[in-house]
């Protein structure tokens, strides 16, 4: 079984009024929507992994406030709102599986769904996508990344991210078209 993981497509990153709004992330919304529709067609479960921070989280010290829980900023952007058979995993660090005492329920959920391979879309290529891919790699999952459905704050960051995804997490990099036609 495969699962599509939609990482951090939240108001604070994708919406023009978001705290860390990025044009590139905003442009990604349409493509991620396509990936979600394809997954639905193929009966691949869809799991949203979403930043949901406490104000005193370690990450907040480095980056400043973003996706604080119970705020508009931490909500999934309107265009991609989950439906009832989707799953939502809330996280407080880059790695969607969690770190130390910030463990999430992602691993248990994947096991329950008998998932062996995760397919990643969303952002950022060189941050939460990369760290989640490494988290999956260490837990024995196969990792696939749809390259036109992930992005970062710049083209350079995005490309570096793709490089390390292959280099560190053994990720298979495919296109949206490949995902649709022969996956
Ligand atoms: Zn964060």
Q: Where are the domains of the chain?
A: 2-181
- Give the model confidence (pLDDT) of 20-31 as tens digits: 999 999 999 999
- Give the model confidence (pLDDT) of 134-147 as tens digits: 999 999 999 999 99
DSSP per residue over 62-76, as a string? HH-S-SBTTSGGGSB
Tell me, in angstroms, the distance from the centre of ligand 1 to residue 6's CA: 15
Tell me, in angstroms, the distance from the centre of ligand 1 to residue 7's CA: 11
Q: Can the peptide bond before residue 31 be classed as cis, meaning omega within 30 degrees of 0?
A: no
Ion ligand 1 nearby residues (CB, 5 A) = 51, 59
27-31: long-range contacts at Cβ-Cβ below 8 A with a sequence spacing of 24 or more?
Answer: 27/151, 28/122, 28/123, 28/149, 28/150, 28/151, 29/77, 29/79, 29/80, 30/79, 31/121, 31/148, 31/149, 31/176
Tell me, in angstroms, the distance from the centre of ligand 1 to residue 28's CA: 18
Exposed, middle or buried, 176 (CB in 10 Å: 0-12/13-18/19+)? middle
Tell me, in angstroms, the distance from the centre of ligand 1 to residue 66's CA: 6
Say what the pLDDT of residue 182 is. Answer: 83
Tell me, in angstroms, the distance from the centre of ligand 1 to residue 67's CA: 7
Q: What is the rounded distance in angstroms from the CA atom of residue 112 to the CA atom of residue 173?
A: 26
Mean pLDDT by 10 residues, the chain (183 residues): 98 97 96 98 97 96 96 98 96 96 97 98 97 98 98 97 97 97 86
Q: How is domain 2-181 classified at the architecture level of CATH?
A: 3-Layer(aba) Sandwich (3.40)
70-81 in b/e form (b: 16+ CB < 10 A) is: eeebbbbbeebe
- Give the model confidence (pLDDT) of 144-163 as tens digits: 999 999 999 999 999 999 99
């Amino acid at each position: 079984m495969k699962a599509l993981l939609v990482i951090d497509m939240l108001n604070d990153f994708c919406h023009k009024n978001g705290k860390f709004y990025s044009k590139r992330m905003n442009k990604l919304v349409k493509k991620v929507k396509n990936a979600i529709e394809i997954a639905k067609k193929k009966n691949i479960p869809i799991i949203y992994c979403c930043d949901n921070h406490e104000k005193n989280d370690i990450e907040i010290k480095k980056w400043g406030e973003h996706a604080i829980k119970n705020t508009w900023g931490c909500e999934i952007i309107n265009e991609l709102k989950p439906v009832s058979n989707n799953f939502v995993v809330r996280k407080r660090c880059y790695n969607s599986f969690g770190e130390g005492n910030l463990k999430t329920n992602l691993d248990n959920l994947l096991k329950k769904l008998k998932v062996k391979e995760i397919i990643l879309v969303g952002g950022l290529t060189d941050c939460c996508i990369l760290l989640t891919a490494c988290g999956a790699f260490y837990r024995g999952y196969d990792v696939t990344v749809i390259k036109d459905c992930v992005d970062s704050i710049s083209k350079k960051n995005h490309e570096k991210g793709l490089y390390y995804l292959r280099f560190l997490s053994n990720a298979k990099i495919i296109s949206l078209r490949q995902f649709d036609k022969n996956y």
